[in-house]
Amino acid sequence: MEQKNENSTDFILLGLFNESPMHLFLFSMVVVIYTLAMAGNTAMVFLIWADARLHTPMYFLLSQLSFLDIFFTSVTVPKMIAGFLFGWTSISFVGCGAQMFFFMLLGAAECLLLALMSYDRYVAICNPLRYPSLMSRQTCLLMVATSWLGGSINASIQTALTLQFPYCGSRRIAHFFCEVPSLLRLACADTAAYERVLFVTGVVVLLVPIAFITTSYALILAAVLGMHSVEGRQKALATCSSHLTVVNLFYGPLVYTYMLPASYHSPGQDDVVSIFYTVLTPMLNPVIYSLRNKEVTGAMKKVIGKMCI
C-alpha cells in the first residue's frame, strides 16, 4: 500500500514485499530476524557489562560491535516494516538524507571496528606477554573513537555528495531504504565522477580493512601452527574463526554492492544482498560469538541461573 498525499519533494520507498502469501511469509521472517538481532545484541552488551570475567579488551570491542549492530539494523528495518504494514512508504528529502547518513556512519564504523578487532586477536596470540600494555583501556577507547570518526567522515562526504545531485524525474526508490546506489539511479545528472569517488571510498572503508585483516590472520596462522599445545591451538583457532565468519558475512555483501560496477547487479539483486548486511549479519553476530566462546556461554548460563533462582 502506498501512502497518499505525499509532498512533491518526498521520495517513495518501493520496499521489498507485496501482499502475496510468499512475500507475507518472507516479511514475517525478516521481522523475526530483526527481533532476534535486537534481543541478541542487547543481551550481548548486557552480559559483557554484567560479568566481570568479560571485562577484557576483546569483549569490550565485542560489546561495541553489538552496540553498533543494534543501531545499524534499526536505521532501516523499522521504516521498512512500517511501510509494509501501514503504507508509510513516503520519506522526506531530509529524512532520506538522515537515514543515508546514519547508515553510512554505522556501516563504515563497523567495517573499521572489525579490522581493529583483528589486531586485538593478533596481539593476544602473537604477543601475549605484551597484551596488557598494547591493548590498554586507552588503546581500546582510541580504537572505538577511530571507528566512529572514520564512519562520520565517510558518511558526511557520501551523504553531502549524493544529495547535491538534482532529482527532477521519478522519486520512486527501488529499494527499502535510502542507499547511495539506489538513489543515484534517480539523479538527473551525470554521476560518473561521483561513482569514481564512491569506488575510492569503498577501497578505503572496505578493501584496506580487508587487507589489514588478511595480514593479521596470516601472522596469527603462522603463530598458531608453531604452537606446541594442542589445547592452545584449538582455543586460538576457535576464537579467530568466529571473527573471520563475521568478517566474511559482513564484508562480502558490502563489496558486492559498493565495489562492483552498477551494470553487474540489478535493483532486485541489491535488495536481496542488502538483507544480509542490514538484518541477517547483525542477528548472526551474537550467535556466532556466543556459541563458539566458552566465556560467553558460561556468563549466559550464570545469568540464566540467577534469573531462575
CATH number, residue 42 = 1.20.1070.10
Q: Is 220 left (phi over 0), alpha (psi -120 to 50) or beta?
A: alpha
Tell me if 138 is assigned to some domain: yes
Tell me if 220 is assigned to some domain: yes
Chain segment 236-261, per-residue pLDDT in tens: 777 677 778 888 888 988 888 888 77
Tell me if 4 is assigned to some domain: no
Our count of domains for the chain comes to 1
Average pLDDT over residues 64-73: 94
Which candidate, 205, 277, 297, 292, places its Cα nearest to that of 240? 292
Tell me if 87 is assigned to some domain: yes
* DSSP state string for 154-221: HHHHHHHHHHTS---S--EESSSS--HHHHHTT-SS--HHHHHHHHHHHIIIIIHHHHHHHHHHHHHH
Tell me if 235 is assigned to some domain: yes
Question: Who has greater pLDDT, 258 or 229?
Answer: 258
Given pLDDT bands bounded at 50, 70 and 90, which one contains residue 68?
very high
pLDDT at residue 126 tops 80: yes
pLDDT at 1: 43
* DSSP state string for 116-152: HHHHHHHHHHH-GGGHHHHT-HHHHHHHHHHHHHHHH
Owning domain of residue 14: 10-308
Supply 195's cell numbers: 561513482
Query: Measured between alpha carbons, how far is 28 from 40 in angstroms, rounded to an integer?
Result: 18
Query: Measured between alpha carbons, how far is 13 from 91 in angstroms, rounded to an integer?
Result: 7
pLDDT at 141: 96
Supply 123's cell numbers: 596481539
Question: Does residue 61 contact residue 116 with C-beta atoms inside 8 Å?
Answer: yes
| DSSP label at residue 130 | G
Question: Does residue 13 contact residue 175 with C-beta atoms inside 8 Å?
Answer: yes
pLDDT at residue 197 tops 90: no
pLDDT at residue 220 tops 70: yes
Tell me if 147 is assigned to some domain: yes
Supply 61's cell numbers: 570491542
Given pLDDT bands bounded at 50, 70 and 90, which one contains residue 8?
low
pTM for the complete prediction?
0.88
* The residue count for the chain: 309
Which residues sit opposite 91 in a β-bridge?
A: 11
Residue linked to cell 501482499: 19
Average pLDDT over residues 47-63: 88
Tell me if 5 is assigned to some domain: no
Which residues sit opposite 13 in a β-bridge?
A: 173
Chain segment 128-181, per-residue pLDDT in tens: 899 999 999 999 999 999 999 999 999 999 999 999 988 887 788 888 999 888
Specify which of 122-126, 136-140, 275-279 reaches the highest per-range mean pLDDT: 136-140
| DSSP label at residue 36 | H
Question: Does residue 83 contact residue 15 with C-beta atoms inside 8 Å?
Answer: yes
Tell me if 3 is assigned to some domain: no
